[in-house]
Chains A and B, each alone.
Chain A
């Protein structure tokens, strides 16, 4: 069972350490229960702004990219810190927007993910903003999560809405998304969803193309 988590954070507010700690606990626990977990995480720019004590929201593209390069280093450091508390090793995977266009790179990335998951490591994925050509930190990172889900043949995309602390469970087939708000329920619902999914690798992978489609469903 492969699960992806996309954390949707606001780019303005301060970084919430408590939330990251809870997330690290939940995901380490999921990993311990035998599920393979991949995290798609934004937050690099917000952390970069915080780190650099920048008062005004940057507007130029170069500045955003530079701040992302500072913030990504911070972000992965925090992930390491919190996952470490649960004895969970993480890895950093930075992808570019057009990853799907290059067959060799898709294969490479696939192999890297497979190997990391086999080794019980949780990959933390983000867009490589420093060199990326696509829009920086698309407000939800969902497109990146979707691409990763396709590459890794994930069974479930789990989205954490930071705005209202809700989780969205979106299975890989046409089953409707579920919304849960607390972590205990999350485990129950995940188990249930896992059982509902027909575990057939040949079955076509279907995920909604945008976060809006999930919410509207």
Chain B
């Protein structure tokens, strides 16, 4: 049992393109509906929730009837500008069903590198949570050099968790957690339940597994976990097929892989 998980208060949930869409690239509305339900339910329990969501480029491609994702940077950015508008509209619709107000916050790497902007983004997010609103965060793809600044939303979500001093980061993936070997290739592969330290061996292990959709995969999730370990934030990597797994996590059940926060870190504001 992970007893302390019952007392988590401020939670960042990151959902990737692979969890939001079908293999054909189109949106999985059922998944989005379930996610909206779970997060609204948690919000009603007075937990503070921040959602980091990818998916803008995929939605943009769908809106414009493009079958394949473009490769050029400027095309991707243009699709992201169309898709982000669509994506936030869809989230508004589903969250509205549970009477939950959401806000859109688009961030750039500046929140890490520029102190003023760090403070600004932090105060906005804290205020939104105080007002009972769920902020939905994505990278501001239009102006940031996509894939160069944050690179992927795993890192963005870790930076956000650090920014708002979250208690927990949940990375929803299309895999149950970190395995001892590639579960698709080896029968003996076992899920690793708990990780205290990111070792080079572990990083090597991660590079062998992961997803072909989205820009993430396990490598970026491990580096996100590393940021959180060092910031004294617990991280869970788990399968986002059924978003109600978040309820299980908060009941302290052993799901996914737990990257244990380094409690020895003394946080200073």
Contact = CB atoms under 8 A, between A and B. Distances in A.
Interface of A: 51-52, 61-63, 65-66, 69-70, 72-74, 76-77, 79-80, 89-96, 99, 104-105, 108-109, 111-112, 114-116, 119, 121, 123-124, 128, 130-133
B124 A65 contact: yes
Q: Is the interface of B mostly helix, strand, loop or mixed?
A: helix
A133 to B, nearest CB: 6
B8 interface: no
B251 interface: no
Q: How many residues of B sit at the interface, in one of the four size bands? A: 35 or more
A189 to B, nearest CB: 30
Contact of A66 (B81, B106, B128, B140): B128
Interface in B28-62: 60
B104 A73 contact: yes
B85 A92 contact: yes
Interface in B100-135: 101-108, 110-111, 116-117, 120-121, 123-124, 126-128, 131, 133, 135
6 contacts: A66-B133, A76-B89, A77-B85, A91-B85, A99-B143, A130-B103
A70 B92 CA distance: 10
B81 A131 contact: no
A66 B103 contact: yes
Contact of B142 (A63, A77, A109, A132): A109
Contacts of A51: 101
A128 B107 CA distance: 9
Contact of A115 (B75, B86, B103, B124): B75
A76 B64 CA distance: 17
A95 B108 CA distance: 11
Contacts of B77: 108, 111-112, 115
- Scoring B103, B131, B140 by chain A CB atoms within 10 A of each residue's CB, the highest score goes to B103
Contact of A96 (B64, B104, B126, B143): B143
A130 to B, nearest CB: 5
Q: Which 10 A-B pairs have the closest CB atoms?
A: A91-B81, A69-B103, A111-B74, A115-B78, A66-B127, A92-B85, A62-B127, A73-B104, A65-B124, A112-B77
